[in-house]
A and B are shown apart, each in its own frame.
Chain A
């Protein structure tokens, strides 16, 4: 469900009211209802995709049930993981792998071409596959009991607030909530959910989509723009991807809260990070903890020789890069993050032990590095990314910055400025100091209304897809 679409605004109140209209004592019915809604919404994209979702659900559920019973759990786990990963591989990576193979064969004079299915990737496949695999691994390690109730498990994998682009939920925290749907309505939680929806919407339609107008114009045809303009667009892309994805995650968590579920926090003001390691504790938290628990730690984590732990970091971030997309740009992006963290580990710079000035410098350096890496993430090919970087550092180009005209720049600065102020206050004094969380109802309501007015007056309402929905 795209949260910034009219469909969501029209449909969700009905979903919410009907969910709470089912008496709490019929908890099971609530679960069935949510499963039905999740699948119906998923089918909206393309009905055939639901078969992939169902397939991954069935395979992981069955494997998890059999793992404790078999004499060869490792083999069964390997089979289950392979089967669950197959759709992801076919839809997302076959084309990339085929291209790499055909290039290698071309070097020895052989012609080979395999058409992939990357034009028909089922929505959210990377997210629900990871979520299901995490559950399977938890069952294998004994951290989670195998779920016997297929409907509850199917809801866990397909839960509509997070199927499009996460957060990637963990079975030990979400499954019990989904099975205990007989809890009474919690108005505090619902209010918090609405607050999250409101600010998430602001981040998406007022900030991300507004900034996207500039970023897409410049980086879409960077050869026509100066290095300074490319730099401005790259910096703004950092703002865009943060406000887009954090906005989405907030809305997903908000929808979850409205229905009475606690979904994990996915962002904690990542651009205030003092190191790349710290950045990954604040950015896409559900993915980074997933990678830590299911890739980094099984590889040996940091309880092994130093060189081996550096290798583990590199492999983890290589997987992160490949997970984001079947493209060399993502591989480079992942490796850049991995290498920088290895360097930080070697130099003991993961934390900040300096005063406010040192902290500010480290924050600025981290932000600039992350922005640099985002260029690889944003551009369609490695050569495009390198060209943008070359333009940025090309001193022979004119030092002018393209401005799209008074109106667009004004709205963009207003939107970004408000978000920066909000995040700075939140980082320095805590969320509770923000008007949204004020102890005085009048202040809270005025701030809600002001944000709503800003959304209506400054938002970009083209129902643009969220960036991470493409992964």
Chain B
């Protein structure tokens, strides 16, 4: 037994050494990545001093032409959108950003599933794992999944499902974003259009599924706005279905005196194939058109 435990101890020590060694190397590469998603993240969290920020999921990345906004409003703009992410990520990022910078305006692209509806929030902790050292991030982990505290003891686990991204962004950085904006130059892929009736049915159920944690994080973010104006935008979809799940965000915005722009039933976009590459995402042409519409609204309502 003694011999077995000694060998097991030695193996665990080696495993720990490996975890620290490879984990530290990945941490270094991640922090020094100059391009790709990690470069984008490093810029947002450490360098960015832009006046206008765009938050949101893939609908933010593909819908808001940051250069167009900057040119039109005469203010610098950066699109901080991140695929498949919402308030869980931006709540932590906002806390980290505002320690060193207060932007003038945040355009928050709303995606009900990621920003307000009930769901498995631990799935949105992925991009925050690398920043676990930050107190705000750690607190969020505690609230969402306390067991993560133990998993995060492993440095390797912090790069779970992302290590190839770290290697790529460090060794072969790609600069395919235009101030965070990633246009999709493609026509509508009809295969990606979902059954509208099914979609409407599932959307009608969303009203009852508000996630109290997500709502609290949104409230927190607005409470800590201090000098930053927020504009919530629900950008167009090909289907033109308004998801009533976003209503609590609309109420929240109005209660705090912020703007909520709803483009979901805009006749200009609904069922207009030329503006979309799938049912929920605009293509380059749609994005430019939509960005101009947002700018127009901002000018009208805020005298930018």
Interface residue ranges, A against B (CB under 8 Å): 6, 10, 20, 185, 187, 190-191, 194, 221, 223-224, 226, 398, 400, 405, 407, 410-411, 445, 448-449, 452-453, 456-462
Contacts and interface: CB of A to CB of B under 8 A. Distances in A.
The list of the 10 closest CB pairs from A to B, nearest first, reads: A456-B156, A187-B4, A185-B1, A6-B147, A457-B163, A456-B157, A224-B194, A452-B15, A190-B4, A456-B154
Nearest to B4: A187
A456 B19 contact: yes
Contacts of B165: 407
Contact of B164 (A10, A223, A407): A407
Contacts of A20: 1
A458 B161 contact: yes
A226 B159 CA distance: 33
A456 B160 contact: yes
B191 A449 contact: no
A6 B4 contact: no
Given A187-B4, A453-B156, A445 B122 contact: no
Interface string B143-187: 000010011001011011111110000000000000000000000
Contacts of A410: 164
Given A6-B151, A458-B161, A453 B1 contact: no
Interface residues of B, number: 33
Contacts of A457: 156-157, 159-161, 163
Contacts of B25: none
Interface in B1-53: 1, 3-4, 7-8, 11, 14-15, 18-19, 22
B4 A185 contact: yes
B4 A461 contact: no
Contacts, number: 64
Contact of B4 (A191, A226, A398, A445): A191
A405 B195 CA distance: 22
Nearest to A10: B150
A313 B161 CA distance: 45
Given A453-B156, A456-B19, A461 B151 contact: yes
Contacts of A226: 191
Contacts of A461: 151, 157, 160
Nearest to B150: A6
* Interface core residue of A221, A224, A400, A458 (most chain B CB under 10 Å): A224
Contacts of B159: 457
A435 B92 CA distance: 44
Nearest to B279: A224
A453 B22 contact: yes
Contacts of B3: 187
A466 to B, nearest CB: 18
A394 to B, nearest CB: 13
A56 to B, nearest CB: 33
Contacts of A459: 160
Contacts of B14: 445, 449
Interface string B261-272: 000000000000
A10 B18 CA distance: 21
Given A456-B154, A462-B122, 14 more contacts: A6-B151, A20-B1, A185-B1, A191-B4, A223-B195, A405-B83, A407-B165, A445-B14, A449-B14, A449-B18, A452-B15, A453-B18, A457-B156, A461-B157
Given A445-B11, A453-B22, A187 B1 contact: yes
A223 B201 CA distance: 15
A17 to B, nearest CB: 9
Nearest to B192: A224
Given A407-B165, A411-B161, A449 B15 contact: yes
A448 B11 contact: yes
Nearest to B154: A456
A407 B194 contact: no
Contacts of A187: 1, 3-4
7 contacts: A6-B151, A194-B8, A453-B18, A456-B19, A456-B156, A461-B151, A462-B122
Nearest to A21: B1
B151 A400 contact: no
A398 B192 CA distance: 12
